[in-house]
Amino acid sequence: MSNDSNFEYSMIPCIIGVIFGVFFSWIFTAPYLPDLYPMMVYGMYMLGMIFIIIIIIVGYIKIDKDYWLVFSSLWLFVMLLWVMFAYVIYDGINIFIAWWRSNLLFNTGLILMVFAFGVLAFWGLREYYYKRCKELD
């Protein structure tokens, strides 16, 4: 980690992010909202697919090879998003849901692994920016 990072400042948006993220996710589980889910979910499913395609293409063509770990982590993270959207769509994939819910230990390990990949991606992005800023200086 570079010395010029300012954690005193950056912890505040992080904590606010956690609080707001949990709060609004909880709000969105309100019982009157599920009628709206199919529209939102299918839209996001398409967006997720577009994201994946763009990240793969840009990653192969444009991205510096030294940072392949960062962007492959981001790619895995987006793949998780895609799976999670499928998790929200109940109709038509009940078999998948049943499998998903019956393997609690596997799920927990998977989530923690992908969470670790996500943190790795953030860490890599920070390092990438610090290095780029030094190059620009």
Partner 1 sequence: MKKETEGYLMAALGMHIASVICYFFDIMIWFSLMMTLVFLSFALKSERSE
Residues forming contacts to partner 1 in the complex (CB under 8 A) are 5-6, 9-22, 24-26, 28-29, 41, 44, 51, 78, 80-81, 84-85, 88, 111, 115, 118-119, 122, 125-126, 129-130, 133
Least distance to partner 1, CB of residue 102, Å: 15
Pick 11 or 99: Cβ nearer partner 1 = 11
Give the residue with the Cβ less far from partner 1, 68 or 82. Answer: 82
Q: Between 19 and 49, whose beta carbon lies closer to partner 1?
A: 19
Tell me the C-alpha distance between 133 and 5, whole Å: 12
1-4, Cβ contacts within 8 angstroms, sequence gap of 24 or more: 1/126, 1/127, 2/126, 2/127, 2/130, 4/130
Query: How far is the C-alpha of 83 from the C-alpha of 123, rounded, in Å?
Result: 23
DSSP notation for 72-123 = HHHHHHHHHHHHHHHHH--TT-HHHHHHHHH-HHHHHHHHHHHHHHHHHHHH
Nearest-approach distance from CB 65 to partner 1, in angstroms: 20
The label of the residue with tokens 């992080």 reads: 14
Closest distance of CB 133 from partner 1, Å: 6
Shortest Cβ distance from residue 44 to partner 1 (Å)? 7
* Cβ proximity to partner 1, 63 vs 84, nearer residue: 84
